[in-house]
Amino acid sequence: MHILVVEDEDAIADPLVVGLRREGYDVSRVATGEGALEASSADLVLLDLRLPDLDGLDVCRRLRERSRVPIIVLTARGEEADRVVGLELGADDYVVKPYGLRELIARIRAVMRRTASLDNAGGPMRVGELDVDERTRRATLAGSELELTPKEFDLLAALARDPGAALTRRRLLAEVWDTSWYGSSKTIDVHVAALRRKLGDPGWIETVRGVGFRLRMP
């Protein structure tokens, strides 16, 4: 998943980019509104509203005019008007500075979940012959239903939401088990092993050494 960070202050942008990359996101950063409008398409945009060249709200509106990309606006404390207008112009959420990385990542996940379920309102997520339908909580492989426990389903759905992406153990723990307690990392291995068995080919879930896992067609 590719995140575009639009932020002019290096002191804010640099640790943000590092932190998001550590979470397994693909990140690019621009420092101006023009840069944001010229950037190649992203899966999500983090948009600072106080930019040196253009009004961030204007950038938000122009991004929204041409794509449905999820946008989270970053606003300063005390700028309530910006938040309201940002949401009216099509931003999906806002985060108030100074924010913690964990809070921001939780918002990113929530926005992605929301937009993924909208995008998939017409049908399940599909990776090759694997279909994962979060609405009905059913997963099928080549048309045959997989008998999954609730957590196995949640884990498969988390992987299927972003096929090919390396998802960190920490992110999977947070998304599937609502915890970042690192000690429970073994739980992931147990569930991954069960999923591989049920999918019939361990190649579906690839181990990314030192990071976590990715879903791909074997």
79 binds Ca ion (CB under 5 A): no
- In the bound state with Ca ion, the residue whose beta carbon lies nearer, of 76 and 106, is 76
Quick check: 162 and 132 in contact, CB under 8 A?
no
- In the bound state with Ca ion, the residue whose beta carbon lies nearer, of 50 and 61, is 50
- In the bound state with Ca ion, the residue whose beta carbon lies nearer, of 48 and 82, is 48
The stretch among 2-10, 38-46, 102-110, 170-178 that binds Ca ion (CB under 5 A) is 2-10
- Residue 6 CA to residue 4 CA, distance in Å, equals 6
DSSP-based three-state secondary structure for 95? strand
The stretch among 1-9, 32-40, 92-100, 120-128 that binds Ca ion (CB under 5 A) is 1-9
Task: Tell which positions 182-201 bind Ca ion, by CB under 5 A.
Answer: none
Tokens 């994962």 -> residue? 132
DSSP-based three-state secondary structure for 6? strand
Q: In whole angstroms, how close is the CB of 43 to Ca ion at the nearest point?
A: 23
Q: In whole angstroms, how close is the CB of 176 to Ca ion at the nearest point?
A: 35
User: How many other CB atoms sit within 10 Å of the CB of residue 9?
Assistant: 13
Task: Tell which positions 4-23 bind Ca ion, by CB under 5 A.
Answer: 8
48 binds Ca ion (CB under 5 A): yes
Quick check: 8 and 51 in contact, CB under 8 A?
yes
50 binds Ca ion (CB under 5 A): yes
Helix and strand numbers, DSSP H then E, in the chain: 8, 12
> Which amino acid, one-letter code, is at 65?
E
Residue numbers of the site for Ca ion (CB under 5 A)?
A: 8, 48, 50
